[in-house]
Amino acid sequence: MMDRHGRPPNFPYNDKLEWLLLTWDPQIGYFKLEMKRRHARALRRHLFGPKGVTIVPAYDGVMNFKLPNGWTLRLTYLGFDEMAEGYVAGDVDAEFIPPARREERPISRQEPASQAQARL
Radius of gyration of the chain (CA): 18
Distance between CA atoms of 77 and 40, rounded to whole angstroms? Answer: 9
Distance between CA atoms of 29 and 27, rounded to whole angstroms? Answer: 5
| Region of poorest pLDDT, from 12-16, 38-42, 67-71, 77-81 | 77-81
Domain ranges of the chain: 27-119
Q: What was the pLDDT predicted at 56?
A: 81
Query: Is the CA virtual torsion 39, 27, 97, 83 positive or negative?
Result: negative
**Tens digit of each residue's pLDDT (9 = 90 or more) over 99-115:** 985 444 444 445 444 44
**Tens digit of each residue's pLDDT (9 = 90 or more) over 33-76:** 999 999 999 999 889 888 767 778 877 889 999 999 999 999 99
More confident site: 10 or 33: 33
Distance between CA atoms of 34 and 81, rounded to whole angstroms? Answer: 17
Prediction pTM value:
0.72
Of 38, 13, 16, the residue nearest 25 (C-alpha): 16
